[in-house]
Amino acid sequence: MRIKWFSLIRITGLICVLLYHFFQMRYTGGFIGVDIFFTFSGYLITALALDEFSRKKSFALRDFYYRRVMRILPPLVLMICLVMPFTLLVGQDYITDLTRQVTSALSFSTNIFEIKTGGTYESRFIPHLFVHTWSLAIEVQFYLVWGFVIYLLAKFTPTLAQLRKRVFVSSGLLACGSALAMYLGAQQMNEFSPIYFSSVTHIFPFFIGSMLGAIAGIKELLPAFSQTVAKHWTKKRALIFMAANLLGLFVLAYFLRFDRRETYMYGFIGASLLAAGAIFGANVLHRKTPDTKEPQLFVYLADISYSVYLFHWPLYVIFSKQFSNGLAALLTTILSVGFASFSYYFLEPLLRGKPVSLFNQTLTFKQILAPFGICLTLGVSFVIYLCLQAPTVSSLERNLMLGSIAQDAGKLEQLYAKATAPKVEPKATNEAKTQIPAGTTIIGDSVTLGSRSYLLDHMSDVDIDAEGNRTMNLAYDVLMNQQNSGQLRQNVVMCIGTNSLDDYQEQTQKVIDDLKPGHRLIFITPHDGHADSSYNSYKLGVWERTLPAKYKFITIGDWDKVARAHPELFEGTDGTHFGGREEAMKLYLECIQDALQRAQKTPVKK
């Protein structure tokens, strides 16, 4: 039995995800499309399991797992094999750590892989081709656990009514536990990818769907639900209710942000509840429109939605580095729809033993076995070949590691020189306080770290302390340590802000207030080519530009303005880092040197 209008739920989830990936700066919360899919899957799986128990008085766990594997695995394997040739269009950085990426995708453990490797869902320098299979991993993990739970409940429950109650209560407890874990986790973290990827904290949408599935199933309905629908719900009311929830999802997806704490505390559970409301409305509308046919376009898009989701991300990652964003999105959509249609309407039915009609001829799997085997062998062989050729780290990671090693080696040399230098006793106990060292101290993040060697080669009398993912509060600690030890030089350059937290003003003000007299302070505005006015890094740059009018000892080096005037230097990057490109490093150096020259005309802090 197919419920009409459920197609709109799947289509809404797919549209949200596509808009988010294609136009992330404008549609910042489209990632909740995954939560729509999660909620719908939890509903559907539970409702179908209850229908099966109603017919057979049992739940066949082995058959359940087999159906899930046959629905999930073939499109996944097809996606990996078909996507791999497109990687020849881009550099080897895009297949970095490919073996573990493919292995994680096929073993449904991408979410665990991303957590362990420190993956960030919104990372854009060299995004993993298969990072989107994190959601598939959580889904399969849900099927494994929840399928077994339903099997045990069904085995020891005599009636459907009792099973409904036990499923509802179990789902509610698990949903509350998972949602609470995400809520508490969000309060303790500033980088939210670990709780986003975790099945423990992000599995509650499935159980919200399961709770609904226990009440409003597919064929077998809770009597109270049937009576309520019959007495109080009209076609118009059901339509308005479904539409209102779908509209709520689009509105929520427009305003949510991945890096906002409120998204994890309230946003995801709000999205799941809206999705459940839309599912409920569609279920009622189906029963109120027995003579209405669902548009075939809706059915088609819903059928291929899973495979489109699989194909679109790696194709977009590749095409977006070769073409304009609009063209990349168009090519991605066309190929994803084509590949997904082939998978759903041709390959998957044949693998399940169903004949397929093609050009007025009926094909069976036996007839295509030989060419299918050859194509699969070639595809798998090519994937293995690429895995063997793939680098273990990207050029950016290599550049940052080398910069970090060189920085650590320099610090060790300084410590050795200090330890072995002859001690000089002060001439008098009332000798004046130690003078502030001349020159420049640069405190930076990963952008500075990647350019560190180049800066040292082209600047004199400078110390550089840089580290990846450094925020202003961490830079403040470095500043205070150097200041207290007498190592902080007269000109202090803060190249911080790309990783900017919500309290960026307070953090920066601490730097200004606690810097001792005798120093000049230079802020280099952060640049993120993908950031708009809603990003903290962008807001920090705007605020920093106002500081020289208030503080005469502060100078601004406007790297964001300079970088935005030269977008060609960031082609093929995340829009923030420039991967050791000499032209970009030269521009970065000139921005810092220009700011230092202007700073020499300003007074030091009094």
Q: What is the dihedral of CA 399, 402, 407, 409, to 10 degrees?
A: -170
Extract the tokens encoding 195: 């709780």
Mean pLDDT in residue range 48-63: 94
What is the C-alpha to C-alpha distance for residues 514 and 480, in angstroms, rounded to an integer? 8
**What is the model's pLDDT at position 100?**
93
The greatest distance separating any two alpha carbons of the chain, rounded to the nearest whole angstrom, comes to 104
- What local confidence, expressed as pLDDT, does residue 472 receive? 93
Residue 425, pLDDT score: 60
Cα angle, residue 373 at apex, residues 134 and 344 outer, rounded to 5°:
50
Q: Among candidates 346, 350, 351, 319, which has minimal Cα distance to 335?
A: 319
When pLDDT is averaged across residues 41-50 and rounded to a whole number, the result is: 95
Phi/psi of residue 292, nearest 5 degrees:
-100, 130
529-567 in b/e form (b: 16+ CB < 10 A) is bebeeebbbbbbbebbeebbeeeebbbbbbbbebbeeee
Residue 513 burial (CB < 10 Å; 0-12/13-18/19+)?
exposed
pLDDT at 51 over 50: yes
- Distance separating alpha carbons of residues 368 and 411, to the nearest angstrom: 65
Measuring CA to CA, how many Å separate 249 from each of 104, 178, 310, 421, 439?
A: 30, 21, 22, 67, 55
CATH number of 395-420+435-599: 3.40.50.1110
pLDDT at 348 over 50: yes
Mean pLDDT of the chain: 90
The pLDDT-based confidence of 431 (bands split at 50, 70, 90) is very low
For residue 166, give the 3-state DSSP assignment.
Answer: helix
In this prediction, residue 513 carries a pLDDT of 96
pLDDT at residue 249 greater than cutoff 90: yes
* CB distance 346 to 358 below 8 Å: yes
Instruction: Please give the pLDDT value at position 484.
Output: 92
pTM of the predicted protein model: 0.81
Angle between the 6-22 and 235-255 helix axes, to the nearest 10 degrees?
Answer: 20
Q: In what order do the strands lie in the sheet with 520-524?
A: 462-466, 440-444, 491-495, 520-524, 554-557
Q: Residue 460 and residue 447: Cα distance in Å, rounded? A: 20
For the chain, domain boundaries: 6-389, 395-420+435-599
Q: Give the Cα separation of 287 and 283 in Å (integer).
A: 7
pLDDT computed for residue 3 by the predictor: 87
Do residues 205 and 35 touch, judged by C-beta distance below 8 A? yes
Rounded distance, CA 147 to CA 60, Å? 9
Query: Can you give the pLDDT at residue 418?
Result: 66
Q: How far apart are CA 187 and CA 155, in angstroms?
A: 40
Q: Is the pLDDT of residue 13 over 90?
A: yes
Q: Which helix (H) or strand (E) holds 543?
A: helix 536-544
Mean pLDDT score, 493-503: 86
Helices (H), 60-133: 61-83, 98-106, 110-116
In this prediction, residues 510-514 reach a mean pLDDT of 96
| Of 228-237, 250-259, 557-566, minimum mean pLDDT range | 228-237
- Is pLDDT above 60 for 572? yes
% of the chain beyond a pLDDT of 90: 69
Q: Tokens for 372?
A: 């299918």
Helix, strand and coil content of the chain, in percent to the nearest 5, comes to: 65, 5, 30
Lowest mean pLDDT among 329-333, 440-444, 465-469: 465-469
- Highest average pLDDT, of 270-279, 345-354, 444-453, comes from 270-279
Query: Residue 272: pLDDT above 50?
Result: yes
Model confidence at 113, pLDDT cuts 50, 70, 90, reads very high
Percentage of the residues of the chain whose pLDDT score is greater than 70: 93
The enclosing H or E element of 263 equals none
535-551, pLDDT tens digit by residue?
888 999 999 999 999 99
- The pLDDT score that the predictor gives to residue 432 is 43
Which tens digits make up the pLDDT trace of 179-211?
A: 999 999 999 887 889 999 999 999 999 999 999
pLDDT band at 424 (very low <50, low <70, confident <90, very high): low
pLDDT at 223: 76
**Amino acid (1-letter code) at residue 86:** F
Q: What is the mean pLDDT of residues 36-45?
A: 97
Which residues pair with residue 520 across a beta bridge?
491
pLDDT at 554 over 90: yes
